[in-house]
Chains A and B, each alone.
Chain A
Amino acid sequence: MTQQGVRWTADQVLALAPDAASRKAGSKLGAAGPWSEAGSSDEGTVWGLCKGSGSKPYQTVIDIADAAGPAYKCSCPSRKFPCKHALGLLLLWASGQGAVPPGGAPDWAEQWIEGRRQRTREKQTAGAAAGAGAGAGAGDPEAARRRAERRAVRITAGATELEQRLADLLRGGLAGAEQAGYGMWEETAARMVDAQAPGLAARVRELGAVPSSGPGWPVRLLEECALVHLLDRGWLRRERLPDGLASTVRSRIGLPASADGSATRDRWLVLAQYDTADARLTTRRIWLHGTDSGRTALLLSYGAAGRAPELALPVGLELEAEVSPYPGTGQLRAALGEQFAPPAPSAARPPGVTTEQAAARYGEALGDDPWLDSVPVTLDRVIPAPDGDSWQLADAEGDSALPLTASSHSRPGLWRLVALSGGAPVKVFGECGHRGFTPLTAWPEGPGEAVRLC
């Protein structure tokens, strides 16, 4: 099943842009003017020459059929990825005005594509060989085991120290934490980084922000302290936990794992893609829904600060691929494996539940992973309703509703959701948790494309 004939929407193309400036620059190049000799092939390659400020036009070529999202090559000096030329060319292609007619690739494009195919084949053969050699490529297993042991000892020391700090805090009272301020937590977080427990470090850093988070902070601080404590205890007693839960603890602590669960082949619908960034890292989350299996999977990818992660799957596309889960109970994270058809637009929608069922689903998921802040849920037939300064998603029938999280109130997506609804029921995909519901994607009740809210 090849669907190269179906072109992406402009929205989906713009979702690939690494930042707002690129989006703007790319939109401007999405017109026929500066382009010449543009074309596309049935194998999912798009190419073109873009007139820039220099005398020689830039050569831009994009491989949209790649399993890990589109790959780009452009002769421009930009370090943005994809650059504005690639975005502009894709927009031109998406507009489907015949500006990018089907045809055979010119030599310079063909060379790059062939090189890529070659490398992919080599990687596959290498992967198959490595699989056959049972991890022979991973170096000395004995050394790896010793490294893991040393790290476990350090984490144990870190967790024990953190327990001590928490006990001291509780003995003296949380009221003191407000005066102690952020510095104390920063220092503890640095200790956890030294202990090679990045998961603990991140949680500790968040503890530092709680006292300044407004009314009710002691409750939130106690909750989060208790969950850190729970994680510490979980680590210190991991041998006595069931395997799945022990894996969950390890992943929450921040130990690397590999997605070695059994792969599921499905037609995966991209439900949402959004980035969060801190000073060092941009994290991209992509939610997938298996249209056959009904499963939900989370793909994570990372980029250095200020750079977009490479994996990009625009909302509303569907890809037939294998997805392998990471270990641990209640963990939805998965890795994208072999892809059988390039991503193509789809009219499929995930099935939805009521607000009551969504809340229950979060409660049940906590049984597998008590540290979960939220679970992915699709709500069926809900109406956004203003509730004072905040908003909620109310069931069209019945009288229960999920309040929206505080952070989603300040996003422009809220208004797109409200506009789309117009007081009528809509289908909304989002994350439902103890802070409320964060809407990520919505569909109108009638026919219509998925609308990104994040």
Chain B
Amino acid sequence: MDRTSTTDIASATAMASTTGTTSTTDMASTTGTTSAPDAWEELVTSALLGTARRTPPGIEPGPGAPVALLDAAAVETVRRRAGLRPARAVQRPQPAPEDPRPALPAAAGRRLALLLADRPGTGGSGRRGTAPDLMELLPQWLAAANTHGYAAPPQLLPALLDAARGRTDLRPAALAFAGSRATWLARLNPDWRFALRATPGGGAALPPPQDTAGIRLLWEEGLFAERVALLAAIRAREPAAARELLTTTWATERAEDRLMFLDSLRAGLGPDDEPFLEQALADRSRNVRSTAAELLSALPDSALAARMAVRAGVCVAVDHTQDTPTIAVEAPHECDSGMERDGVVPKAPSGRGERSWWFGQLVEAAPLSGWPGRLGGRTPAEIVALPVADDWRTELHAAWCRAAVRQRDAEWARALLGTPAAPEAGGPGAVSLAERAKLLGTLGSAERAEWVAGFIATHGLSEAFQLLGVCGVPWDAPLGHAVVDALNIARDAGSYPWSFSGVMGLAERCLDPAEAGRLEGLMAVPDEGEDASPGAGGYWAEAFQRLVTTLRLRAAMAEELEGT
């Protein structure tokens, strides 16, 4: 047997080193047989069928054939591998656009890698322990990095895009930070297609302001998303120009598109827009009409606002025949065509009376500035304090709330909010918590924080979550103190911390990191009181430890981003 197998390892390796440069097999096709030499194909065919049925040329059939075939195949295999050549290069991708932003400081880059490594679903139990929730810090890290205007480290883009893919709320900040290279990447990986949708035109730059022909071309021929982005960009720069651009094609747009375009006029809305909006009140589409009416009612000097003021004024009056002055409401008896044209929806939702439905819409759209004159020269606070006859109070105040939010009227918002310490502020008064949160939005950030701080000091934390959500981050000192004090009180009351996990989570993200020092004392496990829930003290200590750790981490994050 040995005599017949003439190839041994030495000759195989010799083959490998001598034929290495003469064979021309392409690396991309090593698995295919097309470009392999004929001798190899013969070997494969024989091997597949078996030497009992067929032998390749040069190998005699018989008991020695399998070994001879293996010998030849060994030589061929090594020769083929040794002779591999690189494949032909395909079309290389277009280089990603240069990112002009300064590079992220090294420490901040490492922090981002850590935050991104803490993805949900990568192990871990339900209990939160004392360690910070890193993923929850990603939004504010991104916001801070964007404020500094840093460029994202390219190697972290895949993890960043994966994170944004799973959490839509992260997307705007993540994509802004990721920059143009993320869009470039997203074109290569279908998993990240959302990045192309979110970036209008797949990241193509909008034409510069002076390029009127380019703007006109994009507006007339661009995709819908590109056109919306273009309109928004111009609106932000020059509101009138955006409106004029929209006017050029308004008549030929589809109803859904008209609605979207009209909506983008919300930004930078001004008295100049009135004629255009007034004309849109006659639109074929009901949704376009009502949006136009809504926009007009936000312009207190518009003709529509004046018409609404007249209609609403007829319905509300001060009744002096009572012992104390009282507001009397006489809701409209019909919804005439004029009202309908001005955006009043005639059909009430089921369960609501038609008249109160119409009334609400009229008051909501009427300028708030008209009421003091109409109601005996009283200030908004005095007007809100007036009793309202026949159970109309809820309806009237709710409509005023909507008007104050829409017209961004801080004085009325203040009046409707009342003092935070008022007993009815905590309960289900005329103004719901959701409405309060919206009203707070019309106030300055300091005033907002102060009001919520007062609210928490009186009513505790159980109703405060929604209100805390509208406060600026980081929280102002009075608000931060109020929250910490309230948490401390809740602990002393003996309840478990997870009843406050929502507020705790917010505090971790929103409390000023400078407060960490004040919290030190709360990290110890207190002696268990008689009426306390078993073990609560330990859990509270744990929750406060996590709070402090998170605050420290946020301070470190901010410092790293400063680049010091």
Contact = CB atoms under 8 A, between A and B. Distances in A.
Interface of A: 9-11, 14, 20-21, 23-25, 27-34, 51, 91, 94-97, 163, 166-176, 215-216, 218-223, 225-227, 229-230, 233-234, 237, 240-242, 245, 249, 355-356, 358-360, 362-364, 366-368, 370, 383, 385-387, 392, 394-395, 398-403, 412, 415-416, 418-420, 422-424, 433-436, 444, 451
A364 B89 contact: no
Interface residues of B, number: 89
A402 B27 contact: yes
A366 B81 contact: yes
Interface string B62-91: 000111011101101110011111111111
Contacts, number: 281
A199 to B, nearest CB: 15
Contacts of A9: 110
B66 A168 contact: yes
13 contacts: A218-B44, A229-B74, A359-B86, A363-B16, A383-B92, A394-B92, A400-B88, A412-B159, A418-B185, A418-B188, A419-B185, A422-B95, A434-B81
**Main SS of chain A's interface residues?**
helix
B53 interface: yes
Contacts of A171: 50-52, 65-66
B564 to A, nearest CB: 11
Nearest to A31: B553
Nearest to B53: A173
Contacts of B88: 399-401
A60 to B, nearest CB: 15
A10 B185 contact: no
Interface in B501-554: 545-546, 548-550, 552-553
Given A418-B188, A423-B92, A222 B67 contact: no
A133 to B, nearest CB: 38
**Main SS of chain B's interface residues?**
helix
Contacts of A242: 10
A418 B66 CA distance: 47
A175 B53 CA distance: 12
Contacts of A241: 9-10
B118 to A, nearest CB: 6
A226 B118 contact: no
A234 B44 contact: no
A451 B131 contact: no
B360 interface: no
A9 B30 CA distance: 40
B43 to A, nearest CB: 7
Contacts of A399: 88-89
Given A27-B118, A95-B110, A385-B91, A167 B16 contact: no
B13 A245 contact: yes
B185 A363 contact: no
Closest 3 CB pairs of A and B: A33-B549, A173-B50, A367-B17
Contact of A20 (B47, B66, B85, B123): B123
Contacts of B414: none
B195 to A, nearest CB: 12
B189 interface: yes
A30 B10 CA distance: 56
B27 A21 contact: no
Contacts of A434: 27, 30, 81, 84
B28 interface: yes
Nearest to A19: B123
A293 B276 CA distance: 78
B74 A227 contact: yes
A226 B77 contact: yes
B89 A394 contact: yes
A374 to B, nearest CB: 10
B52 A172 contact: yes
A398 B87 CA distance: 12
Given A31-B553, A34-B545, A392-B90, 5 more contacts: A25-B123, A223-B77, A227-B78, A229-B74, A233-B71
Interface string B304-324: 000000000000000000000
B155 to A, nearest CB: 4
Contacts of B111: 10, 95
Contacts of B12: 230, 370
Nearest to A433: B81
B304 to A, nearest CB: 52
A416 B158 contact: yes
Contacts of A172: 50, 52
A95 B108 CA distance: 10
A164 to B, nearest CB: 10
B87 A166 contact: no
Contacts of A34: 130-131, 545, 549
A422 B93 CA distance: 8
Given A163-B67, A403-B28, A27 B48 contact: no
Contacts of A24: 117-118, 122-124
Contact of A31 (B27, B74, B82, B552): B552
A175 B96 CA distance: 49
Given A21-B124, A237-B9, A366-B16, A14 B117 contact: yes
Contacts of B131: 28-29, 31, 33-34
Contacts of B76: 226
A359 B21 CA distance: 10
Nearest to A167: B66
A21, A386, A451 interface centre (most CB from chain B within 10 Å): A386
A360, A368, A412 interface centre (most CB from chain B within 10 Å): A360
Interface string B136-164: 00000000000000000011111100000
Contacts of A28: 118, 129, 131-132, 134
Nearest to B84: A359
A242 B14 CA distance: 13
Contacts of A10: 110-111, 113-114
Contacts of B114: 10, 27, 30, 91
A330 B47 CA distance: 30
Nearest to B538: A53
Contact of A27 (B13, B36, B71, B117): B117
Contacts of A401: 86-90
Contacts of A31: 131-132, 549, 552-553, 556
B124 A25 contact: yes
A399 B28 CA distance: 14
B48 A226 contact: no
A360 B21 contact: yes
B115 to A, nearest CB: 9
A93 to B, nearest CB: 12
